[in-house]
Structures are given as structure tokens and as C-alpha cells.
């Protein structure tokens, strides 16, 4: 064998060993790389699956958020509308406030004016009060003078009544004297009467009054009446008077106790079927 052959065979053997070493290493590395690649592929698939799931979840979340966004958009629109309404209301209220302030100022001015008017009226009232006080004082003085005059008048009236009573007494005495003289002369003198305690009919001016009360005397059983006329009206004791009701005769009464302004009489004759009642007319003669 040629030496070159040996050399080249040796080199070939060495190269073969080196080549085999390289091939083995390469194969091992390739196997590991392939294994790792498969692991990475699996991991990638898992990650992709997770990503798909996350994507689905994100899609759901996105749709949910979109719906929330839409809802919020609607709420925003609603709030904007409410805001617009509130703005309009605010403007309206501002205008009303300005108007109210203007009215307030007007009222304040009017109050001030009324205050001045009140002061003026208070001054007037004070002057009127003073005037009224003066007038009342004058009226009191006038009334005092009127009372004094009334007292004076009453005194004079009392004096007049006393004088009138005296005059009537004198008249009665005169009439009694005339009756006494006439009873001795003739019974046609105008007084139908016998003794002094017998009843008589008054022939002077007609006396007229009313029955004020009717009572029955328990002791005697006789009916007594109270007349509204007395000696002031020329009524005297034993005077015979007549009770009428309308145009109907009721009874005869004889005065038993005369007073100044009233008298007590006894019923002597009653019309059949009738009774003496308060309010009946009593006259001295029936015309």
C-alpha cells in the first residue's frame, strides 16, 4: 500500500471518527431540539387555547361593556335632558326671583309710603282726639246743665203736682159742698148718689183708663181690680165706673181706694157670660 494510501486511510479513519462524533452530537441535539420544539408547540397550543378562551371572555366582557356603555350613554342623554330642563327651570326661577325682588322693592317703597301716611294719620288722629276730648268735655258740661235743668224741672213739676193736688182737693171739697147742698135741694144736680159713702157717677169730663190687674179678695170673695187712673185723673172714692170691651159692656166697678196714678175698685155687677180681665177699658160714663 502506498504511503499516501495509508495516510489517506488514516485521515479517512480520523475523519470518520470525527464525522461520526459530529453526526451523533448533531442527532442528539436535533432530537432534543425536536423535543423542545414539540413542547413549545404544545405550550403554544395551550396558550392559544387559553388565548381563545380569554378572547371569548374578552368578547363577552366587551359586549357587556358595550351594553354598559350604551346604558351609560342613554343615562347620559337622560341626564343631559334633565340638565337642560333644570337649566330652563333655573332661568325661570331666576326671572321669577328678579320679578320678586322688583316687587319686594316696590312693596318696601309702598311700606315706607304707608309709614309716612300712618304718621300723618296718627297726627290727624291725635288732633281729632284732642278735638273729641274737647267736644266730650263740652258735652259733659251740656249734660250737666241739662241734668240741672231736669232737676229744676222735676222740682217745678213736683211743685205743680202738689199745687194740682191741692187744686183738686179744693175742687173735691167744692163738689162735696155742692153735693151736700144739692142733696138737700134736688137729686137732678148731676150727681146720682145718696149718702157720702154711696157710689156716684162722675158727670165731669170723661175719665178713661185700663184694668191693670184682677184679683179675688179671699176674705170677702169679692173681685177687686186695679185701675190705671187715680186722683191725678179726677178719680175719687165711691166713684162708679164702667168696664167695656170693644163695644160690649162687661161690668160695673166702684172705686174703694184711689191713689195718685192708680186705684183699686170693687166689681159690683158683671155682664152674664163675661169675666173681667186685665186690659179692659174703664170709663167714667158710657156715651
Partner 1 sequence: MSQFGMQMPAGRKRAASPDVYTGLAVIATVFLAAATAVMWQAGAKVGKGGSPIALQESGRIELPALGK
Kindly state the smallest distance separating residue 59's Cβ from partner 1, in Å. Answer: 35
Rounded least distance, CB 42 to partner 1, Å: 13
What distance in Å separates the CA atoms of residue 180 and residue 37, rounded to the nearest whole number? 184
Given the complex with partner 1, which of 24 and 125 has the nearer CB atom? 24
Identity of the residue, 5 or 144, whose beta carbon is nearer to partner 1 in the bound complex: 5
Distance between CA atoms of 270 and 251, rounded to whole angstroms? 4
Among the listed residues 190, 211, 210, the one whose alpha carbon sits nearest the alpha carbon of residue 200: 190
Strand, coil or helix: 118 = helix
Contact residues for partner 1, defined by CB under 8 A? 1-5, 8-9, 11-12, 15-16, 18-19, 21-23, 25-26, 28-30, 32-33, 35-36, 39
Least gap, CB of 50 to partner 1 (angstroms): 21
Minimum CB distance to partner 1, residue 49 (Å): 22
Smallest distance from partner 1 to CB 3, Å: 7
Distance from C-alpha of 26 to C-alpha of 31, rounded to nearest angstrom = 8
Smaller CB separation from partner 1, 1 or 195: 1
* Beta strand spans in the chain (E): 200-201, 208-216, 223-227, 239-245, 248-258, 263-270, 281-283
Q: In the complex with partner 1, which residue's Cβ is closer, 10 or 142? A: 10
Can you read off the three cell numbers belonging to residue 3? 504511503
User: Other C-beta atoms within 10 Å of 239: how many?
Assistant: 22
Residue 114 to residues 41, 110, 119, 258, 285: CA-CA distances in angstroms? 101, 6, 8, 73, 77
Of 19 and 109, the one with the shorter C-beta distance to partner 1 is: 19
Q: Which is nearer to partner 1, 15 or 170 (CB)?
A: 15
Query: Least distance (Å) from partner 1 to the CB of residue 48?
Result: 21
The nearest distance, CB 54 to partner 1, in angstroms, is 26
Angle at 272 between CA 266 and CA 276, to 5 degrees: 40
Q: Pick the closer one to partner 1 by CB: 38 or 102.
A: 38
What are the residues facing 263 on neighbouring strands?
227, 258
Give the number of other CB atoms < 10 A from CB of residue 46.
10
As a whole number of angstroms, the distance between CA 190 and CA 179 comes to: 9
Q: Which residues contact 109 (CB under 8 A, 6 or more apart)?
A: none
Looking at beta carbons only, is 2 or 272 nearer to partner 1? 2
Amino acid at each position: 500500500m502506498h504511503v499516501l494510501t495509508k495516510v489517506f486511510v488514516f485521515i479517512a479513519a480520523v475523519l470518520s471518527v470525527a464525522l461520526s462524533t459530529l453526526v451523533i452530537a448533531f442527532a442528539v441535539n436535533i432530537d432534543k431540539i425536536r423535543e423542545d420544539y414539540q413542547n413549545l408547540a404544545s405550550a403554544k397550543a395551550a396558550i392559544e387555547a387559553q388565548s381563545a378562551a380569554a378572547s371569548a371572555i374578552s368578547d363577552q366582557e366587551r359586549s357587556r361593556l358595550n351594553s354598559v356603555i350604551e346604558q351609560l350613554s342613554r343615562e347620559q342623554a337622560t341626564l343631559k335632558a334633565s340638565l337642560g330642563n333644570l337649566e330652563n327651570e333655573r332661568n325661570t326661577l331666576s326671572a321669577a326671583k328678579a320679578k320678586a325682588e322688583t316687587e319686594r322693592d316696590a312693596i318696601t317703597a309702598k311700606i315706607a309710603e304707608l309709614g309716612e301716611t300712618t304718621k300723618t294719620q296718627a297726627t290727624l288722629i291725635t288732633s281729632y282726639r284732642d278735638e273729641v276730648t274737647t267736644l266730650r268735655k263740652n258735652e259733659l258740661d251740656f249734660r250737666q246743665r241739662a241734668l240741672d235743668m231736669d232737676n229744676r224741672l222735676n222740682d217745678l213739676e213736683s211743685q205743680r203736682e202738689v199745687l194740682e193736688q191741692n187744686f183738686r182737693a179744693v175742687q173735691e171739697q167744692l163738689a162735696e159742698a155742692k153735693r151736700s147742698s144739692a142733696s138737700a135741694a134736688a137729686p137732678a144736680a148731676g150727681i146720682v148718689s145718696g149718702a157720702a159713702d154711696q157710689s156716684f157717677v162722675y158727670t165731669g169730663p170723661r175719665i178713661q183708663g185700663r184694668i191693670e190687674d184682677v184679683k179675688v179678695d179671699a176674705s170677702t170673695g169679692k173681685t177687686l181690680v186695679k185701675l190705671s187712673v187715680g186722683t191725678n185723673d179726677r178719680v175719687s172714692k165711691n166713684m162708679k165706673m164702667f168696664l167695656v170691651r170693644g163695644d160690649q159692656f162687661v161690668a160695673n166697678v166702684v172705686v174703694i181706694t184711689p191713689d195718685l196714678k192708680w186705684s183699686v175698685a170693687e166689681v159690683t155687677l158683671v155682664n152674664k157670660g163675661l169675666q173681667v180681665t186685665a186690659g179692659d177699658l174703664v170709663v167714667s160714663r158710657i156715651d
